[in-house]
Amino acid sequence: MNRQAGNDMNNNRHRIMRLGRIAALGAIACMTLGSAAAQAQQGTAPDASDVGRSTRDWLTMQGENRAAAPTQPLLGDVASLVYQRYLDSFKNKIPESMSTQLGSFGGMSGSGRGAQ
């Protein structure tokens, strides 16, 4: 047997092994997708009691601050702008009532800022 024939046999062996691996991965993918589709078909809408319970649990977690993310710092420029806006908010008096029309249609003016 010459050297070329040996290389061809090795190449064929590698091709067959590669095809086997691809077929195995394809079978695994089909089984995974098939079981996910079966679960999706079986899983109908949750009961109203489950929705209510999970909503109460989320509201409790929020109220007790159990699921809060760590606080994020404000960086220099943003912090100074926010603080300046906070200080500027004290320049305007709080109206006793909101009976005056701000725009021509009784809503906010075109700039979206309202009367100042």
Structural domain contains residue 87:
no
Quote the pLDDT of residue 103. 56
Q: How far is CA 26 from the centre of its chain?
A: 30
Structural domain contains residue 17:
yes
H helical segments located in 64-115: 76-88
- Per residue of the chain (116 residues), what is the pLDDT tens digit? 555 555 566 677 767 777 777 777 777 776 777 766 666 566 666 676 778 888 999 899 888 888 778 888 888 899 999 999 999 999 988 888 877 566 545 445 444 444 44
Structural domain contains residue 10:
yes
Q: What is the tally of structural domains in the chain?
A: 1
Quote the pLDDT of residue 81. 94
What is the domain extent for residue 24? 1-41
C-alpha to C-alpha distance for 61 and 55, rounded to whole angstroms: 10
Give the burial class of 8: count Cβ atoms within 10 A of its Cβ; 0-12 exposed, 13-18 middle, 19 or more buried.
exposed
Quote the pLDDT of residue 89. 92
Quote the pLDDT of residue 36. 62
Cβ atoms within 10 A of the Cβ of 109, count? Answer: 14
CA-to-CA dists, residue 86 to 16, 78, 96, 113, 114, angstroms: 71, 12, 21, 16, 18
Quote the pLDDT of residue 4. 57
Helix, coil or strand: residue 66: coil
Quote the pLDDT of residue 40. 59
